[in-house]
Structure 1
Amino acid sequence: GTESDTATIIFTSGTTGTPKGVELTHKNFICQLKDIGALLPLKTGDKALCVLPVWHVYEREIEYCLLYLECALCYSKPVGSIIMSDLKKIQPNFMACVPRVWDAIYKAIQKQVGASSTGRWVLFKTCVGAASTILRMYNIIHGRNQQFKPPLFIFKIVNKVLYFPILFLLPMKALGEIVFFKKARSVFGNNFKIGISGGGGLAPKLDKFYNSIGMRLVEGYGLTETAPICSLRSYKRPVLGTIGKIMPYCEGRVVNRNGQECKPGQTGVLYIRGENVMKGYYKQPELTAEAVVEGWFNTGDLVIRTFKGDIIVKGRQKDTIVLRSGENVEPFPIECKLAESPYIAQAVVVGQDKNCLGALIIPAKDNIKAYAEQNGMDTSNFPAVLKSDLIHNLIFKEFERLITQKNGFKPFEKIGKFVFLDKQFEVGVELSAKQDIIRYKINELYKWQIMMMFSDSSMAQNLQNLGNMKDTIISKIPVKGGKKPQ
């Protein structure tokens, strides 16, 4: 065989649900080994904890790189309790996984601290805030922030002034290191060197938290069609909130709607060309020709490039919500911000062709119960708690607190309506194997809830009355064989 021979065919449904067989060659995988290996501070004999399905292209390429670096592979499962136990037993040097796993570990750390006392929790948040501010200022001083134009020389001098507030905050960070941070890092064992988040966007709160407490967490980016890694943030000079620069074995360009190259700071679609781009879609030449033009693969992802070449992912082109008023909204940044609420476990933003945005909310059950009890509510009937004015007002207050212009959101990006969902999302149903939300499935599965959310109050009430009437009629029908008609 040759390096251009097909190594594997991986079927992916993407955002449409139509199965496509991505045909990847040996060269697609092998071309990445040297350059990815150069970005990882790993040596022969280091241990990696592998938690993702081995057939997934992200896990596959990472494992090839680890074998190239002569590291040991230790297998676990993407279940919070199992990972936490295995981290303690194995004491790995490295772990690559998806944002939901990093989020689960983050919540476990927070829960552990919050369970002790209110005073300790407040101290923890203060120490994390101080450490986060120090990191942000340090990155500004050293030019490791998101910049779209070369800074004037005067700013390079003025930025040195930030050393003074850093000195003021250092005692609080030092206290955090003694009381909290060292213990939080020990969750990953005593030998942990670096972690990679990929397979989906990493929420800014996770990026800031892990890097602020002294743990190296970098973000990578890629697709099945690019085998998959196109970029990986440098751990030596990391720019938080970015996926790093395009890897040496491929090249990227950012193109606007008119097909013109975007300048730094302008949003456009990312195209990739190089040795890692797929052979094509298996027995689907029309789809291949549509996706790859003159060697350039259309990723479908909206990005912004900094003047130094670091990439910021803003969302999927097909995920863009167009409101009735014509504004375009990227749901991902809003969903990440909403997930920072202690009362929201997960949110999915909807609103295509509507007057305003809406959200499907998975409630953070324990925190909502605690809030309700503090306000004198009986929480034995949790569905009734969720329907109460108290909790609805609480969620709207969280919307107002988080989705603000101060946090970088525009007025039309505010959430005007929401509905609670009564179940967690599941892999294979609402989530992909790498635990990304599958929007087209969510729109199908929860179309009734979305319709009710955006219905006017009189229509919604009539629909509810029809539902109640059906239940009443069914309850009066004589039952045979112990089953009621549906």
Structure 2
Amino acid sequence: MDVEYKRKDTIPSLFLSQVKKHAKRVALREKNFGIWDEISWSGYYQKVNHLALGCLSLGMEKGDRVAILSENRQEWLYSDLAAQSIGGISVGIYPTNPPFQVKYILEHSGANLCIVEDQEQTDKVLEIKNELRDLKKIIVVDPKGLRNYKDPMLMVFDDLLELGKEMDQKTPGLLIGHIAEIQENDVATMVYTSGTTGPPKGVMWTHKSILAVMDDIVTMLPLTERDEVVSYLPLSHGAERYFSLYAAIMAGYTVSFSESITTIQEALAEISPTFFFAVPRIWEKMYSQIHAKVKDSVALKRYFFELSVKIGQRLTQRIINQEEISLGSKILYGLAYILCLRAIRDKLGLLRARTCLSAAAPISPEILKFFHSIGIVIRQGYGMTETGGFNFLQRKSDFKPGSVGKALPATEKSKIADDGELLVKGKCLFLKYFKDPDATAKMLQGGWAHTGDVAKVDEEGDLFIVDRKKDLIITSGGKNIAPSEIENDLKRSLFISEAVIIGDNRKFLSALIQINFDNVSKWAMENRISFTNYKSLAVNPEVYKLIQNEVKQVNSRFSRVENVRKFRIFDKELDEDDNEVTATQKVKRAIIENKFKYLIDDIYTE
């Protein structure tokens, strides 16, 4: 691209400036058939350019919506940037969504084009296309298996690129003119909420709000062109989009895609990213995997692991207490790191990770302390889709488990309302909900975004999220309880993968628990307990006793009123396909309580 472009106030204009600066450097990597293919920044631009012009050739206009229904891959990013570059609005759809949920978003957004990954996603859209009056074309990235599909709405992604290439040859520089027309207050993308409290809402982010938040993130973490990131969480989720696309453009670092979600651990090991973002469920799984492997190792390895972690935990506690660390403690930890802890980081694929981040839900402080003890410092952040994704972030020097840190500059003001709810305002806020003025007015009462999260601030100005306002439990005795703290402690168990605390207007707390199938099945085999599947373990009396012991241990760490008196084990694993959890594995509490009412009734009528 031989063009000088100095504007940086929209995402496409910032992209152009980075292409000029980093033309030959590697922007993207994708693994295909076991080999990492690399795309330079200039190659990245060429794909976006041709795709954008291809969309123009199909009649796309400014303000039109382009839906993207795909797993993480380079074409996702090309599609997002191409749509924005001609003034369109990108709309991500989770590839795990069933047809009825895909229909809702395509219909609600009024998407004109839908870019789908493969045959599976194509079939979803073809099943509902006759009910979608705005949809004009379905663009298929991987047409394998579609040879006999004759629907005129279908078009192959590479054919669309070819159309754009022809247009580019006829009118060189055409895309630059379109990018010049985009203004910072134009809508760049719509991010649909996960729908935990009702139908998903289309949250409209402008170029200005995205870049304000990204400037904060890139500066505060910080992120630079030397960083490496692996893209693996769904790109429909705002946080992953930030780190795979927007922050990557702003900082100029390299983003890598694994062959599939099932090979993410292999990709981490091969790439060894310098920055790693994960939702709490990922960190919990890593924590569980480490302890499960140690449990199965020989006695000497277990001894060295426990000793090394103990040394690390002592050091971590001194850091939390802001105590001076002696030279002897540093040397002792250095030995523990060399002999044991370094190998654990390497196995996780996080040996080079200088910055790690957890956000999107609360995480157990004990899990944060554990990772810190082995040399992986996880900083916590907080935000919600409506407030731009990130509003608070722990500073590098402030390791305070449970805190999400202090406000970022784009979150210009924040306060705690009389009922404990966190309110924020600033350049970070979304524009509005698409087609929903009433919900917009409710969210932005008085110009403040009402987060729905109960929070508190300590004497040093660090924010702590207590729980979702609607999830707080008030027992029949009038005691206010935040269930997430108890749930997170339960999930530290090797044998528990999910927990839902029940107790609103009840005499005592109870829990619905999902066992960790892998670890419980190993335990069952070791104890000669026969089983065939998850359900056969869930109903086994010996498994109940196992979980009962885990619950007792957690109860010992809480006050009596916060103790789980009774529990039941889910007879199935919670599944996104069954609308029980979100794509980032957050439990849909209201749906769970309704769907498994028979278990709750059994607890309280016993």
Gaps of 5+ in 2: 1-181
Paired position in structure 2 for 1:441:
591
Which residues in structure 2 correspond to 1:383-422 (within 5 Å)? 386-387=538-539, 390-404=542-556, 407=557, 409-422=558-571
Gaps of 5+ in 1: 143-159, 258-267, 457-486
Asked if 1:255 corresponds to 2:405, the answer is no
Which residues in structure 2 correspond to 1:162-201 (within 5 Å)? 167=328, 173-186=333-346, 187-201=348-362
Paired position in structure 2 for 1:97:
278
Tell whether the 8 Å contact from 2:288 to 2:492 is kept in structure 1 after alignment.
no
Paired position in structure 2 for 1:298:
450
AA matched with 2:273: P
AA matched with 1:74: S
Quick one: which of 508, 511, 516 aligns to 1:356?
508
Name the CA distance, whole Å, in 2 between partners of 1:321 and 1:372: 35
Quick one: which of 74, 87, 90 aligns to 2:256?
74
AA matched with 1:72: T
Tell whether the 8 Å contact from 1:216 to 1:235 is kept in structure 2 after alignment.
no
Cα displacement (A) at 1:280: 1.8
Tell whether the 8 Å contact from 1:12 to 1:20 is kept in structure 2 after alignment.
yes
Paired position in structure 1 for 2:394:
233
Asked if 1:378 corresponds to 2:529, the answer is yes
Paired position in structure 1 for 2:488:
336
Tell whether the 8 Å contact from 1:49 to 1:76 is kept in structure 2 after alignment.
yes
Cα displacement (A) at 1:13: 4.9
Cα displacement (A) at 1:116: 1.7
Name the CA distance, whole Å, in 2 between partners of 1:365 and 1:44: 41
Which residues in structure 2 correspond to 1:6-85 (within 5 Å)? 6-62=187-243, 63-76=245-258, 79=261, 81-85=262-266
- Any idea what SS the aligned residue of 2:224 has? coil
Q: RCO (CA 8 Å, sep 6+): is it higher in 1 or 2?
A: 1
Tell whether the 8 Å contact from 1:255 to 1:271 is kept in structure 2 after alignment.
yes
Cα displacement (A) at 1:341: 2.1
Cα displacement (A) at 1:424: 2.1
The TM-score, its normalising length taken from structure 1, stands at: 0.80
AA matched with 2:280: P
AA matched with 2:423: Y
Name the CA distance, whole Å, in 2 between partners of 1:190 and 1:370: 29
Cα displacement (A) at 1:36: 1.2
AA matched with 1:329: I
AA matched with 1:434: T
Task: Say if 1:91 and 1:380 are closer, same or farther in 2 by CA, change over 3 A.
Answer: closer
Paired position in structure 1 for 2:465:
313
- Any idea what SS the aligned residue of 2:404 has? coil
Which residues in structure 2 correspond to 1:86-235 (within 5 Å)? 86-141=267-322, 167=328, 173-186=333-346, 187-235=348-396
Task: Say if 1:330 and 1:193 are closer, same or farther in 2 by CA, change over 3 A.
Answer: same
Name the CA distance, whole Å, in 1 between partners of 2:483 and 2:306: 27
Task: Say if 1:323 and 1:109 are closer, same or farther in 2 by CA, change over 3 A.
Answer: same
Tell whether the 8 Å contact from 1:78 to 1:101 is kept in structure 2 after alignment.
no
Name the CA distance, whole Å, in 2 between partners of 1:204 and 1:59: 23
Paired position in structure 1 for 2:574:
425
- Any idea what SS the aligned residue of 2:487 has? helix
Name the CA distance, whole Å, in 2 between partners of 1:309 and 1:208: 21
Paired position in structure 1 for 2:404:
243
Name the CA distance, whole Å, in 2 between partners of 1:373 and 1:90: 35
Name the CA distance, whole Å, in 2 between partners of 1:171 and 1:403: 37
CA displacement, residues 200-243 of structure 1 (integer Å, 9 cap, x when unaligned): 12222321122111123211111110121111112233322211
Tell whether the 8 Å contact from 2:481 to 2:562 is kept in structure 1 after alignment.
yes
* Paired residues, number: 420
Cα displacement (A) at 1:50: 1.2
Task: Say if 1:369 and 1:73 are closer, same or farther in 2 by CA, change over 3 A.
Answer: closer
Paired position in structure 2 for 1:476:
none
AA matched with 2:360: G
- Any idea what SS the aligned residue of 1:176 has? helix
Paired position in structure 1 for 2:499:
347
- Say which is worse superposed, 395-404 or 213-222, in terms of deviation: 395-404
Tell whether the 8 Å contact from 2:497 to 2:514 is kept in structure 1 after alignment.
yes
Task: Say if 1:170 and 1:93 are closer, same or farther in 2 by CA, change over 3 A.
Answer: closer
- Any idea what SS the aligned residue of 2:391 has? strand
AA matched with 1:10: V
- Any idea what SS the aligned residue of 1:243 has? strand
Quick one: which of 323, 338, 360 aligns to 2:475?
323
AA matched with 1:206: I
AA matched with 1:239: K
Task: Say if 1:44 and 1:276 are closer, same or farther in 2 by CA, change over 3 A.
Answer: same
The TM-score, its normalising length taken from structure 2, stands at: 0.65
AA matched with 2:250: Y
Asked if 1:270 corresponds to 2:419, the answer is no
Name the CA distance, whole Å, in 2 between partners of 1:347 and 1:77: 31
- Any idea what SS the aligned residue of 1:178 has? helix
AA matched with 2:415: R
Name the CA distance, whole Å, in 2 between partners of 1:45 and 1:101: 25
Name the CA distance, whole Å, in 2 between partners of 1:228 and 1:255: 21
Name the CA distance, whole Å, in 2 between partners of 1:19 and 1:42: 32
Question: What fraction of aligned residue pairs are identical, expressed as a percent?
Answer: 28
Cα displacement (A) at 1:107: 2.6
AA matched with 2:284: D
Tell whether the 8 Å contact from 2:538 to 2:570 is kept in structure 1 after alignment.
no
Cα displacement (A) at 1:385: 6.0
Task: Say if 1:422 and 1:173 are closer, same or farther in 2 by CA, change over 3 A.
Answer: farther
